[in-house]
Amino acid sequence: MLFRLYGSYLPRFARHVIATAHLVLIESGSALAFFDRIKRLNPKARTLYFCRDLLKSIGAAPVLQDIQAAAISRFDAICVPSERLGALLPRGGRVRVIPQGVDAAVFDREQPSPYQAGSRNAVSIGNMLFDQPSVAAMAAAAPDVNFHVFGAQWSGWAQPNITIYGERDFESIVPYLQHADFGIAPYRLTADEIYLAESSLKLSQYSYCGLPILLPDLVPFSRANGIAYRLDGETAWREKVDAALAMRRSPTFRDGITTWDEVAQQTLAAAFETP
């Protein structure tokens, strides 16, 4: 009842903007509560559901899931970053798959290496579904490789060749990606969470930088720079790390990766597409 009440009210400045808008974007989550109010304020505006998460996976209230199911066929378009996410949504929506983008201007800027000359380095960014045991096992198997972990929380002792940086501004991390020997996407996921890895931003960023990537075998990754390891019971960690070190970096790994400008253009095109 509180969500329904919450969704019935918008402050004056928001009502004015919505009433004169050509397009209203609604993010997955509590913003769904405002859908009916938006349609009443401006029935002529196009509405786009910018769906980045499965509501059940992020623990959204059941009433929001009910609102999504009731509204999904009334959106002019639904943009998702993953085909699997689109398939998991309630039926009846006009789903368009638009992958994540990269900030090409930042990655194309040449920056000095933050690593010691002659060293070998692996990088992990982000904290979503972070699999600490797998990273620890990689580091233990390859003491001659330095492992740089950004964003994720680390519990307990870490091997001497692991450096935990915590949260950093993104631009300061970019040189670590540009000059790494390989990237790690250590997701600890279940079959229901595969869509999160499929739409992973770090996979696009690693690939744009030409890096080999170590990632679990559940992740549906089709680029040539992926090196899969068993999510449970992997014993060949040294072989996996050596395969990543031996793989030659290639600009072809970035083929098909879009910039955020291109993502914006595709999103607007989907919103104003004629049914």
Whichever domain contains 142, its CATH number is 3.40.50.2000
List the beta bridge partners of residue 215.
228
Same-domain status, 119 and 206:
yes
pLDDT at 57: 78
Mean of pLDDT values over 55-79 = 92
> Over the stretch 161-211, which tens digit does the pLDDT of each residue have?
999 999 999 999 999 999 999 999 999 988 777 887 778 899 999 999 999
Tell me how far apart the terminal alpha carbons of the chain are, to the nearest angstrom. 34
Same-domain status, 44 and 136:
no
Confidence band of 135 (pLDDT split at 50, 70, 90): very high
Confidence band of 220 (pLDDT split at 50, 70, 90): confident
13 φ/ψ angles, rounded to the nearest 5 degrees: -65, -35
Same-domain status, 69 and 188:
no
Mean of pLDDT values over 141-152 = 97
If we measure between CA atoms, which residue out of 181, 177, 175 comes closest to residue 144?
181
Alpha carbon distances (Å) from 20 to 140, 179, 227: 59, 48, 50
pLDDT at 222: 86
Same-domain status, 156 and 122:
yes
CATH number at residue 48: 3.40.50.11010
Q: For residues 100 and 162, which has the higher predicted lDDT (pLDDT)?
A: 162
Same-domain status, 85 and 11:
yes
> Over the stretch 13-54, which tens digit does the pLDDT of each residue have?
999 999 999 999 999 999 999 999 999 999 999 999 999 888
Least confidently predicted of 124-128, 182-186, 218-222, 264-268: 218-222
Same-domain status, 239 and 116:
yes
Q: To 5 degrees, how large is the angle CA 232–CA 234–CA 235?
A: 150
Q: Which range of residues forms the domain containing residue 157?
A: 105-254
Helices (H) and strands (E) in the chain, counts: 12, 12
pLDDT at 189: 85
Same-domain status, 217 and 267:
no
Mean of pLDDT values over 219-227 = 91
If we measure between CA atoms, which residue out of 241, 247, 245, 243 comes closest to residue 138?
241
pLDDT at 157: 95
pLDDT at 143: 98
List the beta bridge partners of residue 4.
none
Confidence band of 81 (pLDDT split at 50, 70, 90): very high
Same-domain status, 141 and 75:
no
Q: Is 234 exposed, middle or buried (0-12, 13-18, 19+ CB in 10 A)?
A: middle
Same-domain status, 15 and 53:
yes
pLDDT at 195: 82
Same-domain status, 114 and 202:
yes
pLDDT at 266: 95
Confidence band of 258 (pLDDT split at 50, 70, 90): very high
Same-domain status, 64 and 138:
no
Q: What would the two tokens of residue 243 be? A: 């395969």
What is the chain's Cα-based Rg?
21
pLDDT at 106: 94
Same-domain status, 136 and 70:
no
pLDDT at 199: 81
Q: How many domains does the chain have?
A: 2
pLDDT at 191: 77
> Over the stretch 103-113, which tens digit does the pLDDT of each residue have?
999 999 989 99
The rounded mean pLDDT for the chain is 93
- For 103, which DSSP code? -
pTM of the model: 0.85
Residue 258 to residue 266: CA distance in whole angstroms: 10
pLDDT at 2: 85
pLDDT at 63: 93
